[in-house]
């Protein structure tokens, strides 16, 4: 749905619900929705670790490679026993970059009762379990409200599957 900007122009925006990242999306909300643009940066080649080293970890290391705008993402899912591969092109204007993820055929998604997962781990596992072959995701990198490098990977076709990865 288009939005009217301050210059009364109709524009379209890409959006994630970043409330879990510490970004104050609805600061002083008073009956109108205010959208604060997130200043995304170039997506850098890096390894994002969210792993405890347990076989029951929902998400292990995520490796991001940006080779002159060609993005390759490798997401290790220890609890599912598989690795997902994402490929796409980085958007030149720092908007959300579209990726196609594959590798779901080797995954066995199991929800462990004693794995000390967060609610989002359970939701992400249930969402990813619905994929049979490939799915689309969008990725962005930015500094959050606490100036921490943050990588967000969202799967809009999977109703709420989103990964917020932070450095440090």
For 111-162, the pLDDT digits (tens) are 777 777 888 888 888 889 999 899 999 999 988 778 888 899 999 888 778 8
For 47-105, the pLDDT digits (tens) are 998 767 677 788 889 999 999 999 999 999 999 999 999 999 998 877 789 999 999 99
Closest to 130 (Cα-Cα) out of 101, 88, 164:
101
pLDDT category at 19 given cuts 50, 70, 90 is low
Nearby residues of 77 by Cβ (< 8 Å), 6 or more positions away: 58, 59, 60, 83, 84, 107, 128
């Amino acid at each position: 749905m288009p939005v009217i900007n301050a210059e009364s122009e109709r524009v379209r925006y890409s959006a994630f619900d970043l409330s879990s990242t510490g970004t104050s999306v609805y600061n002083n909300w008073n009956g109108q929705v205010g959208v604060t643009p997130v200043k995304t940066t170039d997506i850098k080649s890096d390894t994002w670790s969210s792993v405890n080293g347990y076989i029951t970890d929902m998400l292990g290391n995520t490796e991001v490679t940006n080779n002159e705008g060609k993005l390759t993402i490798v997401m290790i899912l220890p609890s599912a026993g598989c690795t997902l591969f994402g490929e796409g092109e980085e958007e030149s204007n720092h908007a959300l970059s579209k990726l196609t993820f594959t590798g779901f055929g080797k995954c066995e998604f199991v929800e462990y009762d004693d794995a000390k997962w967060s609610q989002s781990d359970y939701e992400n596992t249930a969402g990813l379990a619905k994929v049979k072959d490939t799915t689309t995701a969008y990725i962005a990198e930015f500094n959050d409200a606490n100036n921490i490098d943050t990588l967000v990977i969202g799967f809009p076709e999977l109703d709420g599957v989103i990964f917020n990865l932070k450095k440090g």
